[in-house]
Amino acid sequence: MWYMGSQDPKQRLLDKVIDHLATHGLGDLSLRQLAAAIGTSHRMLNYHFGSRSGLLVEVVREVERRQQQRFNDFLRELESHARSTTQTPLFPEIAWRWWQHISDPHLWPHERLFFEIYGQALTGHPELAGFLTRVVESWLDPLIRFARAYGIPEPEARTEARLALAVTRGLLLDLLATGDRAGVDAAMKRQIAHYVTNHTNSAGVDVTKTT
């Protein structure tokens, strides 16, 4: 194909769609308005995605894919940092860095889109059912491995992972609504401190200094 070298036109379209939805919300999911906003005709959206719900499904999959991508990027960044300093970072440091990573304002549009999809999926939207089955489980496994790697024993690891996920999402919801960076950061530090004093093998670090 003549466009090989850039991208599948479908993927190019999907990228533009997600960029637009992240900044303008899912409410604009009228094929016509959407197409006009990203410089195509609604005919093209129907052609490449089959239907409105087909597009919605692919948008959701792409959002999930990007989240996973972000997590992998973070892990690689951690790894390279560990190589340069030769000492493996402590648990509270990593937790705090991860929080800084995903709470960065330039990710807010995507996080808003994530929670909007979450909300719509909760009310029975049938094409989003798969999203709900994955939205917790797909994060639990990597988090459990993480917890185990830092010495939290197995039966607790799953519970702590689930809790960490909930805290993160709850505080993100807060941050997106209030924009109160200082207040939300303080809460996250407090939570990390809770972990530390309850798992003595990684205690002894003042997380309030990790800023």
Partner DNA sequence: CTCCTCATGTACCAAGTGGTACATGTACCA
Partner DNA sequence: TGGTACATGTACCACTTGGTACATGAGGAG
Q: Which residues bind its own copies (CB under 8 A)?
A: 24-27, 112-113, 115-125, 132-133, 135-137, 156, 158-160, 162-163, 165-171, 173-174, 176-178, 180, 183-184, 186-187, 190-191, 193-195, 197-198
Instruction: Note whether 67 binds DNA by CB under 7 A.
Output: no
Smallest distance from its own copies to CB 86, Å: 32
**Which DSSP string do the residues of 83-104 spell out, in sequence order?**
HHHSSPPPHHHHHHHHHHHHT-
Residue 17 CB neighbours (<10 A): 23
Closest CA to 167 of 145, 154, 184: 184
Instruction: Note whether 65 binds DNA by CB under 7 A.
Output: no
Interaction mask 12-31, DNA, x per CB under 7 A: -x---------------xxx
Contacting DNA within 87-146 (CB under 7 A): none
Smallest distance from its own copies to CB 102, Å: 14
Instruction: Note whether 42 binds DNA by CB under 7 A.
Output: yes
Instruction: Note whether 7 binds DNA by CB under 7 A.
Output: no
101 makes contact, choosing from its own copies, DNA, none, with CB < 5 to 8 Å by partner type, with none
**Which DSSP string do the residues of 97-154 spell out, in sequence order?**
HHHHHHT-GGGHHHHHHHHHHHHHHHTT-GGGHHHHHHHTHHHHHHHHHHHHHTT--H
Instruction: Please enumerate in sequence order all residues whose Cβ is within 8 A of that of 142, keeping only pairs 6 or more positions apart, or say none.
Output: 71
Nearer CB in complex with DNA: 52/66: 52
Contacting DNA within 161-190 (CB under 7 A): none
Distance CA 164, CA 82 (A): 23
